[in-house]
Amino acid sequence: KAGVTQTPRYLIKTRGQQVTLSCSPISGHRSVSWYQQTPGQGLQFLFEYFSETQRNKGNFPGRFSGRQFSNSRSEMNVSTLELGDSALYLCASSGLAGENEQFFGPGTRLTVL
């Protein structure tokens, strides 16, 4: 089974721009969660989608949004980028609702200049 894939792997943007990151979960998985990892704040939960619905949301400003498509692929969008948005963005997928193991993708490294 192919693992979780994330595209692109690396991204450089400037302040004020917007960015879209993509995550393809493991085949058959319907839950996709997003995390932000920074040296200062560590790993923080952004949001979770299940069957195209946002099921959970972390404490991030409205500039961070996401969506999930019918094939379970998910996108995350950050608008009006700030320097502090520079981070590794990790996506994780899991199977049926309540399944306890999340499988992580390799991440997208976003640098905001």
Partner 1 sequence: AQTVTQSQPEMSVQEAETVTLSCTYDTSESDYYLFWYKQPPSRQMILVIRQEAYKQQNATENRFSVNFQKAAKSFSLKISDSQLGDAAMYFCAYRPYTGTASKLTFGTGTRLQVTL
Binding region for partner 1 (CB under 8 A): 31, 33, 35, 42-43, 45, 48, 50, 55-56, 58, 88, 90, 92, 94, 97-98, 100-107, 109
In whole angstroms, the minimum distance from the beta carbon of 83 to partner 1 comes to 21
Instruction: Decide: residue 89, CB within 10 A, 0-12 exposed, 13-18 middle, 19+ buried.
Output: buried
Instruction: Rank residues 22 and 79 by Cβ distance to partner 1 and give the closer one.
Output: 22
How far apart are CB 70 and partner 1 at their closest, in Å? 19
The least distance separating partner 1 from the CB of residue 89, rounded to whole angstroms, comes to 11
Q: Which is nearer to partner 1, 70 or 100 (CB)?
A: 100
Vertex 50 angle, CA 85 and 101, to 5°: 85
What secondary structure letter does DSSP report for 96?
S
Judge whether 53 and 28 are in contact, CB under 8 Å: no
Q: Which two tokens stand for residue 25?
A: 């979960």
